[in-house]
Amino acid sequence: MSIVEGLRPLAPVASAPSRLCSGAGLARLRAEARLIRRYPREYRRVLPIEGHVGAIQHLVRSHRPKYDRYLLEALIEHDRLFRRPNGQASSSADTTTSQIPARAG
């Protein structure tokens, strides 16, 4: 048994991508972090009222074009850093922002 009771550790498979990180999830986190760094006063103003998640949603709604650009840049960077084992990058369909659900509406 693993540290988490009831869950067996997964056997590593050489051809399988790591389950530790999702490119889409990491890209969203990076884009959100860039928004916080870009608009720190706005984030700090909304934080006590909405909490962290609400403040992020507010930033994403307020600055959607900038967030979309940051998200695309993060996806491209992730794809560049974590290429598939055969040396081929992910297909462009894997990195389109339209397939990544946004956190904030």
Per-residue pLDDT reduced to its tens digit, 58-78: 999 999 999 999 999 998 888
Task: For residue 70, tell me if it sits in a domain.
Answer: yes
Task: For residue 93, tell me if it sits in a domain.
Answer: no
Count: domains in the chain: 1
Q: What are the structure tokens assigned to 57, written together?
A: 């949603």
**What are the backbone dihedrals phi and psi of residue 10, each rounded to the nearest 5 degrees, phi first?**
-80, 135
pTM > 0.85: no
Task: For residue 98, tell me if it sits in a domain.
Answer: no
Interval 8-22 mean pLDDT: 55
Query: pLDDT above 90 covers what percent of the chain?
Result: 44
Task: For residue 3, tell me if it sits in a domain.
Answer: no
Q: Are 59 and 83 in contact (CB under 8 A)?
A: no
Task: For residue 74, tell me if it sits in a domain.
Answer: yes
Give me the domain span that covers residue 27: 23-84
**Cα–Cα distance list, 44 to 11, 50, 56 (Å):** 43, 10, 11
Those residues whose C-beta lies under 8 Å from the C-beta of residue 100, and which sit 6 or more positions away, are 24, 27, 28, 71, 75
